[in-house]
Structure 1
Amino acid sequence: MRKATILALTMLAMPAAAQERGLLLAGACQGCHGVSGGGSHGIPAIAATHRRAEFAAILRDFRENRREATVMGRIARGYSDEDIAALAAHYAARD
């Protein structure tokens, strides 16, 4: 196969891979925020967040200890920037 063809096929697969990554990572969120991301019992809702940039900034703040948290700081430290972007896209799409 030619390099250009391989590159084009790889680029087409990226959005699906990113969606799958977001769905996979969201599994860890479900224990506290609920399966739908709606939150409950004092845990904030994270679904239907149309402001992806705000969602990502909050997770980065948790990761960098710039936002006070009991558990989220420890969880967010395990996320790369790509993970955070995938989660932000996943929850922004849940309307």
Structure 2
Amino acid sequence: MSPGGAQSIPPGAVACSGCHPPSAGGAIPPLAGMSSEAITASMLAFRTGARPATVMDRISKGFSDQEVRAIADWFALGKLP
């Protein structure tokens, strides 16, 4: 965390905004405000192949479990990159 208690953006989270929009309305859901548990579960399911994907299966393999949790926690706070 940065001074003052504000959580800084975790590495990798900025890349999410390349596909995930800031608000609902498209085929790809926004991440800001989604629960940390839902984001983490989706990332892990993409990684194992339990959830079909076009690119998220490859993207999710690039993050450790700790990185996935940090990104999920950050987006769950309603943050946008």
- Measured against the shorter chain, the TM-score band is 0.7 to 0.9
Give distance in 1, aligned partners of 2:25 and 2:19.
8
Q: Structure 1 vs Structure 2: percent identity of aligned residues?
A: 35
Bigger Cα Rg: 1
Q: Show the 5 A alignment for 1:55-94.
A: 55-94=39-78
Ranges in structure 1 where 5+ consecutive residues have no aligned partner: 1-15
Ranges in structure 2 where 5+ consecutive residues have no aligned partner: none
Q: Show the 5 A alignment for 1:19-58.
A: 19-20=7-8, 22=10, 24-34=11-21, 36=22, 38=23, 41-49=26-34, 51-58=35-42
Q: TM-score, normalised by structure 2?
A: 0.78
Deviation at 1:20, TM superposition (A): 3.2
Give distance in 2, aligned partners of 1:41 and 1:83.
26
Moved over 3 A (4+): none
Q: TM-score, normalised by structure 1?
A: 0.68
Give distance in 1, aligned partners of 2:24 and 2:61.
21
CA RMSD of aligned residues (A): 2.0
Structure with the largest fraction of helix: 1
Structure showing greater relative contact order (alpha-carbon pairs closer than 8 Å, 6 or more residues apart): 2
- Secondary structure class of the residue paired with 2:63: coil
